[in-house]
Chains A and B, each alone.
Chain A
Amino acid sequence: MISAGMDVGSKTVKVVILKDGRIIGKGIATAGLEADEAIQTAWEAALKEAGVSREEINKVVATGSRREEISGFDDEVSEVTADARAMIIVNPEIRTIIDVGAEEGRAIKVDSGGKILDFAVNEKCAAGAGAFIEAMARAMQVSIEEFSTESLKSDKTIPINAQCAIFAESEVVSLVHDETSRPDICGAINDAIADRLASMARRVLVEPKVALIGGAALGIGLQSSLKEALELDELYIPDDPEFLGAYGASIVASES
C-alpha cells in the first residue's frame, strides 16, 4: 500500500510518501498567503523521489494548521497525534516531544505505547514559535543558519525579559545600540525562546527522553539553549525533524 501524509503549516508544506511502512519520497516547499502552489511543489518533489504517480497513492491524510484551507486529502489528523504517531516509530524511548513550527510551539507527553497523555500548545504569543526566530534573525540581519551558529559563539548570559515577541524585538534593538556583540545577542534570543518553550513543556511535566522536532529543531543554537533550559543531558533530534508531522500523517493514512 502506498500512503501519503501532508503537513500544511503556516510557513511550509511537507509531503511524505510511504510504501509498506517505508518512506520512499519527501517534498517541502515554502508557502505564502496561498498554499496551493507550495502544495503542488512539495507533492511534485515527493512523487519524483518516490517514483510514483499521484494516482498510485491509496490514501492521503493531512495535518498542520492550514489543513482546513485546502482540499485534496481523504482524512485529517491533528499535529499532536501526527507527531506522536511518528515518534513512536522513529524513537520509542521518547516520552516528551517538543515541536516548534513557524506559528506554534507544542509539547506532547506520550507513554511507551505512543499514547498521548497530555499536551500543551503556546497561546497566542509567538515568542515560542519559529516565526519569532525568523523575525529576530531579520532584526540581526543574518540568515537563520548564521543566527544559529553565531549563537554558539556566545559565552555570556544576557536576559531578554519580555514575554511578548514584539517587546523582545525592542529589547534586541536596545542590545544592538549598546554595542553588544552579535553572537551574544543571538545567544540571548535563543535562550529567551528556549525559556518560553521550557515553560510550556513543563505544563506537561517533562520526562526524558525529550525530542525536539519541527523546522526550528534544525537550529543548533536553539538545541543548545533548550537543552540547558530543561537541564537535559540529551536532546534527541531526529533526521529531517521538520518532516515528522507529515510522516505521522502518512502512518495514519497507511493504517486505514
Chain B
Amino acid sequence: MEKYKTEPLKCWDKAKELRTNLYKRLAQARDEGRMIVGGGTESMLALPSGYDMEFLGGEPYGASCTFMGKHDPSVHHGFFEAVEAARYPRDLCAYMRLGLGSFLENRFAFGGKYPKPDFNLQLHLCDTHGKWYQILSELEGVPYNAVDFIPYAWETENENEESKRLKKEYLAGVMLEVIDWMEKVTGKEYDDEKFINAVNWECESANLWARCCMLNQSIPAVMDEKMMFSLYIIAVLMRQRKEAVDFYIELLDELKDRQSRGIAACANERFRFIHDSQPPWFALEIFRYLEEYGAVSIGAHYSFGLSGGWAFDPEKDTWLPAKPPKEAGVELKTREQACEWYAEWYLAYHTILRSLRWSGRGKNKRMLDLVKNWKVDGVIIHLNRGCEGTAVGQMEVRRFLADNNIPCMTYEGNLADDREFDLPRTISKINTFMETLGLKKLTK
C-alpha cells in the first residue's frame, strides 16, 4: 500500500520542449543571423543578451554528452579519448574534457559539427572554467573575455561593508567593460533595453526556482531531486529569457497545487535526504535504488543554489528567495543601474558560486539550514572527482554534519566520467548506510 498519492508533472513536456528548442535554435542560429556565445552557464547570461544570441553552455552540454553516452558510450568516451590524445590530463574537470573533446573531434553530440561561437564569455570564479574557455578560444580562434570575480563571504564571516562596496564597484565596472568589449569584437551596437530585460528575467527566474524549492519543505516532498535535474536546467540554460520566467510561474502554480492536494514525488517517502554535489549523470539509477528504501532526495545545496537566488535573512537566520528588481521596488532604467544590480545579485545571492569560493563555517551553516528547514534525515555526499569546485569543503561539511548527529554517507565518483565510478560498490555503501539507519527495502 503506497503511503502518498503521486502523479506526473503537467509541465514536464513544456520543460522538454524548452530544452529541445534551445538546441534547435543553436543549430539554426547562424542561418537566422543570430550570434552564438560560448561559456560556462554560471556566466552572466544577461550580459551578452544585449544581442540576439544563443548561449552554448559548457556544463549542461557535458552532462548531456554523458547521459547520451549511457546508451552509446562512443559519444562521451570518444570526447574523453580525444582530449587524452591531445595530452590533457585525466583529472581535469570532466565537463571541460567533454567540451574540449567535442571541439577536437569536431562533433556535436546532438548532431552535426561542433558549433563555433562568435566569442566566449566566462565567469572566472572556477579556475578550471577560466582556463577551459581560454584554451577553447585559442583553438577556435575566437575572442575571449573572463569576468573575474570573488563573491561576498558567507554571512558567518561578517564581511565589512567597505569590502563589499569595493567588490560590487569592481564587478559592475568589469561588466561595463565587457559590454564595450563585446561591441568592439562583434562590431555591433549593444541594445541596453534587451540587457535590462534579461537582468530582470534572470533574477525573476532565480527567485521563482528558489520559491519552488521552498515548497519542498512540505512532507511529502512535491519534487524529488531527479525531477529537479530536469526542471532547474531551464534556468541554467536560459534564465535570462522570458520563456524561463513563464515556465517557472507555471511550475510554481503546479507545485502549490500538488502541495495542497498532498501529491508526493515518491509514493513511499519515509527518509528525506539531500545529496551534495552534482550526481554521476550516467548513474541516476542510484536515486531510484534509494527509493526502494523509501529514501528520497528532496534537493541539494547544488540543485537549489545553481538556479536559485537566495538571500540571507538575519532576523530569521535562514536563506529565503532573493527579491528580483521589481519585487524589491527597483526599476532598472540604465545600463549602469542594471550592471550595479546584476553585480550585487551575483555577489550576494548566488549560493553555489559563493560555495565554490568559500567553504568552512558558511557552507556548514547553509547545509545545516537545509537539513533543518527541509526536514532532512540524512545527507549523501558525492565525492565528485570531476568537479573540483563543488568538492570544496565536502569533508568539512561531512564532519560538521556528523558532529551535529546528522547521518552522512560519502561515495566517490565523477559527474561525467563513468570510468571513475564503481556502481556495485556505491550500491553496497547505500545498503550499509540504510541498514545502519534501520531501514529495510520496501520492495524485494
* Residues of A participating in the B interface, judged by any CB pair closer than 8 Å: 65, 68, 77-81, 116, 118-121, 123-124, 203-205
Contact residues in A for B403 (Cβ distance below 8 Å): 205
Q: Could you jot down 29 A-B contacts, CB within 8 Å?
A: A65-B428, A68-B424, A77-B435, A78-B431, A78-B432, A78-B435, A78-B436, A80-B432, A80-B436, A81-B432, A81-B435, A81-B436, A116-B436, A118-B402, A118-B407, A119-B432, A119-B436, A120-B410, A121-B429, A121-B432, A124-B420, A124-B422, A124-B425, A203-B398, A203-B399, A203-B410, A204-B402, A205-B402, A205-B403
Bound-state Cα–Cα, A81 to B440, Å: 13
Bound-state Cα–Cα, A204 to B402, Å: 8
Cβ A79 vs Cβ B422 within 8 A: no
B81 on the A face (CB < 8 A): no
* Residues of B participating in the A interface, judged by any CB pair closer than 8 Å: 383, 395, 398-399, 402-403, 407-408, 410, 412, 420, 422, 424-425, 428-429, 431-432, 435-436
Name the residue of chain B whose CB is nearest to the CB of A120.
B410
Cβ B408 vs Cβ A118 within 8 A: yes
Report which residue of B395, B422, B425 has the largest number of chain A beta carbons within 10 angstroms of its beta carbon: B425
Cβ A205 vs Cβ B432 within 8 A: no
Bound-state Cα–Cα, A79 to B425, Å: 13
**Least distance between B395 CB and chain A CB atoms (Å):** 7
Bound-state Cα–Cα, A18 to B6, Å: 47
Name the residue of chain A whose CB is nearest to the CB of B433.
A119
Contact residues in B for A119 (Cβ distance below 8 Å): 432, 436
**Least distance between B174 CB and chain A CB atoms (Å):** 39
Name the residue of chain A whose CB is nearest to the CB of B408.
A118
Bound-state Cα–Cα, A203 to B408, Å: 11
Name the residue of chain A whose CB is nearest to the CB of B437.
A116
Contact residues in B for A77 (Cβ distance below 8 Å): 435
Report which residue of A81, A119, A204 has the largest number of chain B beta carbons within 10 angstroms of its beta carbon: A119
Contact residues in A for B398 (Cβ distance below 8 Å): 203
Assuming the A-B contacts A118-B408, A204-B402, A205-B402, are A79 and B395 also in contact, with contact meaning beta carbons closer than 8 angstroms in the complex?
no
Contact residues in B for A205 (Cβ distance below 8 Å): 399, 402-403
Name the residue of chain A whose CB is nearest to the CB of B421.
A124
Across the interface, A124 reaches (CB within 8 A) one of B399, B407, B412, B428, namely B412
Cβ A123 vs Cβ B412 within 8 A: yes
Contact residues in B for A78 (Cβ distance below 8 Å): 428, 431-432, 435-436
Contact residues in B for A65 (Cβ distance below 8 Å): 428
Bound-state Cα–Cα, A116 to B405, Å: 12
Bound-state Cα–Cα, A80 to B407, Å: 15
Name the residue of chain A whose CB is nearest to the CB of B422.
A124
Name the residue of chain B whose CB is nearest to the CB of A78.
B432
Across the interface, B383 reaches (CB within 8 A) one of A79, A80, A81, A123, namely A123
Bound-state Cα–Cα, A80 to B437, Å: 12
Bound-state Cα–Cα, A224 to B403, Å: 29
Name the residue of chain B whose CB is nearest to the CB of A118.
B402
**Least distance between B403 CB and chain A CB atoms (Å):** 8
Q: Which 3 A-B pairs have the closest CB atoms?
A: A123-B412, A78-B432, A116-B436
Name the residue of chain B whose CB is nearest to the CB of A108.
B436
Bound-state Cα–Cα, A119 to B395, Å: 13
Cβ A79 vs Cβ B402 within 8 A: no
Bound-state Cα–Cα, A121 to B428, Å: 11
Name the residue of chain B whose CB is nearest to the CB of A121.
B429
Cβ A79 vs Cβ B408 within 8 A: no
Bound-state Cα–Cα, A205 to B403, Å: 9
Contact residues in A for B429 (Cβ distance below 8 Å): 121
Bound-state Cα–Cα, A116 to B436, Å: 6
Bound-state Cα–Cα, A80 to B403, Å: 20
Contact residues in B for A81 (Cβ distance below 8 Å): 432, 435-436
Contact residues in A for B383 (Cβ distance below 8 Å): 123
Bound-state Cα–Cα, A78 to B402, Å: 21
Bound-state Cα–Cα, A204 to B395, Å: 11
Contact residues in A for B402 (Cβ distance below 8 Å): 118, 204-205
Bound-state Cα–Cα, A126 to B424, Å: 16
Given contacts A65-B428, A119-B436, 13 further A-B contacts (CB under 8 A): A68-B424, A78-B435, A116-B436, A120-B410, A121-B429, A121-B432, A124-B420, A124-B425, A203-B395, A203-B398, A204-B402, A205-B399, A205-B403
Name the residue of chain B whose CB is nearest to the CB of A79.
B432
**Least distance between B427 CB and chain A CB atoms (Å):** 9
**Least distance between B431 CB and chain A CB atoms (Å):** 6
Name the residue of chain A whose CB is nearest to the CB of B411.
A123
Bound-state Cα–Cα, A28 to B424, Å: 25
Name the residue of chain B whose CB is nearest to the CB of A125.
B412
